[in-house]
Structure 1
């Protein structure tokens, strides 16, 4: 319907001695009302759009920060690989010669007056210490290489419970020695999912080791308070794995840097375990989060590949 707005406006502007056509006044009032409603809707839409733009900007900033972090980690990984290879060769030679020294000293005759028995035993002890230190450095190099290598997930049909149990069994001696109550929580029937079981196993090994170390016996922690819970479930084509301990949790100031390479709050270790876990999760296109809830809780959120696209697995 075409409305003569000019005519309606003229009607509203008639002098006091003239009478306005009531129908035209009603039409103009209707148009004004419709205009006000449309304006109100536009304002609400504008506000909603502004809110959505801010949300998208926050998501973009978060995604950009994650991308920058991944790039920094990749560059650091390449550098670490070069350093590790440079260190490993001389370490191998040191270990070889120290081992030969131990064998020579073990085979020496204690009655040989040229070398007092005390010195022989001391030399053998020191040589064994050298070998021990080299083994420790070799472990550091292995961690650096593990962190720096290219990660390409190969998802296969996998039993979730089996993956959790396999990782827990590796640390079973330490778990039992510390009196930790191990709990496995997986829905029944056990879901079969498409993930890379080798990489998930490696990530779990690091998380479980950290959890066990966080619950080492202490006077302030009763034995019955030590519990380690491994849980896994699927939701909306995602795999959610959580590792929960009853340790002292993560200090607030450490939460934002806990996944940084070489960061550690302990006197031992390389500080690469959680960085490796982060790289594994990142390679899967997932996310990892840490929270404090009666201890530390690490949660892995991974996208699942369709089972039909994978091969046979565990």
Structure 2
């Protein structure tokens, strides 16, 4: 770039400004255009970054709302289940006594059998509800994720063979995280079986893709944080938007049988690990991503407490902490709790 002539302020005040030839003027225009282009580019980048942050904020708020719903519904369901189980037990005992009194009366015994089977089904539902609501313990340990992932896939082998599903594995063997391996295996098994069962209703080639990779995701408190991401992709019919909004709600199901608690439990397990659960779906299939922080982001128990973390308490504490963070106040740390908080 050529050097522009210096300008004397006194000369300008006297009206005797320097003369600029055509080449210097063109150079001045070019420099001005370069600065303008850089400013426009920076402005565009800032707009894109603001848009990305707004979307991430909306996603975090959606996860917070979902955690609140799960915590509230879990507590309510546990109370209702206990209230149902008590009279249900009385019905079962009375039915046993009645069956003994009706010995030798086949027609009446058949009616008792029907009632007994109905009581058994109700007891099974109550058991599922209590399993969802109970305080499962999370014991995080540094673990290669390939192990629980392959274990869950092996437990899905019956559906894979029955529906003639091709399985593609794309695994980063170095990917690891601080997790409870048994709980993660339970969550992945549920997701994989749902994916296999979804594909059985389509004529398209049945293909299950399982990916394991290491990524960095933004954390509202710690910036970009290392995560291990598990992605499970199927070629099923996809999930309608209205179903996608409710699929992790307890007791919601589109099937004729089942309690609708499987994916709710998956969500609670991932949330208690401080992880993220994302769903993308279209006509060509569904992708579910489970992202787990390499360093455990859930609540850690004090060394004096029993090893492990209450899954129910984890959800409730994370809801409370996120709500306090959103209001700008710092939550008080009670006895037996640490002051560090996980990502939303």
Measured on the aligned residues, the alpha-carbon RMSD in Å equals 3.7
Question: 1:16 aligns to what?
Answer: none
Q: Secondary structure at the match of 2:232?
A: strand
What TM-score do the two structures reach when normalised by structure 2?
0.66
Q: 1:33 Cα shift?
A: 5.2
Question: 2:219 aligns to what?
Answer: none
1:232 lines up with 2:226 in the alignment: no
Question: 2:62 aligns to what?
Answer: 69
Q: Structure 2, unaligned stretches of length 5 or more?
A: 217-225, 297-344
Q: Secondary structure at the match of 1:56?
A: helix
Q: Which has the higher helix share?
A: 1
Q: Secondary structure at the match of 1:107?
A: helix
Q: Secondary structure at the match of 2:19?
A: helix
Aligned length: 280
Provide Cα deviations, 1:229-260, integer angstroms capped at 9, x if missing partner: 43323356442312222322223554455455
Question: 1:212 aligns to what?
Answer: 196
Provide Cα deviations, 1:121-154, integer angstroms capped at 9, x if missing partner: 21122122122122123313433x26xx799x65
Q: Separation in 1 of the partners of 2:34 and 2:268?
A: 47
Q: Separation in 2 of the partners of 1:67 and 1:168?
A: 30
Greater displacement, 59-68 / 289-298: 289-298
Change (3 A) 1:174 1:28: closer
1:119 lines up with 2:108 in the alignment: yes
Question: 2:239 aligns to what?
Answer: 250
Provide Cα deviations, 1:157-208, integer angstroms capped at 9, x if missing partner: 32333212322344444444x33436362548x3351231234223212212
Q: 1:70 Cα shift?
A: 3.0
Q: Secondary structure at the match of 2:237?
A: coil
Question: 1:268 aligns to what?
Answer: 257
User: Larger Cα Rg: Structure 1 or Structure 2?
Assistant: 1
Q: Separation in 1 of the partners of 2:26 and 2:139?
A: 63
Q: 1:118 Cα shift?
A: 0.3
Q: Is the 8 A contact 2:215 2:228 kept in 1?
A: yes
Change (3 A) 1:126 1:271: closer
What TM-score do the two structures reach when normalised by structure 1?
0.71
Q: Separation in 2 of the partners of 1:255 and 1:91?
A: 30
Q: Is the 8 A contact 2:73 2:250 kept in 1?
A: no
Provide Cα deviations, 1:100-130, integer angstroms capped at 9, x if missing partner: 245335534533xxxx420122112212212
Q: Is the 8 A contact 1:226 1:246 kept in 2?
A: yes
Q: Separation in 1 of the partners of 2:101 and 2:258?
A: 36
Q: Is the 8 A contact 1:229 1:245 kept in 2?
A: yes
Choose which of 69, 73, 79 in structure 1 pairs with 2:72: 79
Q: Separation in 2 of the partners of 1:242 and 1:106?
A: 52
Change (3 A) 1:121 1:272: closer
Q: Is the 8 A contact 2:235 2:284 kept in 1?
A: yes
Q: 1:60 Cα shift?
A: 2.8
For 1:1-314, list aligned pairs within 5 A: 3-4=7-8, 7=11, 10-11=15-16, 24-26=18-20, 30=24, 32=25, 35-108=28-101, 110-111=103-104, 116-143=105-132, 145=133, 155-176=140-161, 178-181=162-165, 183=167, 185-187=169-171, 190-191=173-174, 193-196=176-179, 197-216=181-200, 218=201, 221=203, 225-235=205-215, 237-251=226-240, 254-255=243-244, 258-259=247-248, 263-282=252-271, 283-292=273-282, 294-305=284-295
Q: Is the 8 A contact 1:241 1:299 kept in 2?
A: yes
Q: Structure 1, unaligned stretches of length 5 or more?
A: 13-23, 307-314
Q: Secondary structure at the match of 1:290?
A: strand
Greater displacement, 125-134 / 179-188: 179-188
Q: 1:54 Cα shift?
A: 1.7
Q: 1:270 Cα shift?
A: 4.2
Q: Secondary structure at the match of 2:113?
A: helix
Q: 1:214 Cα shift?
A: 0.9
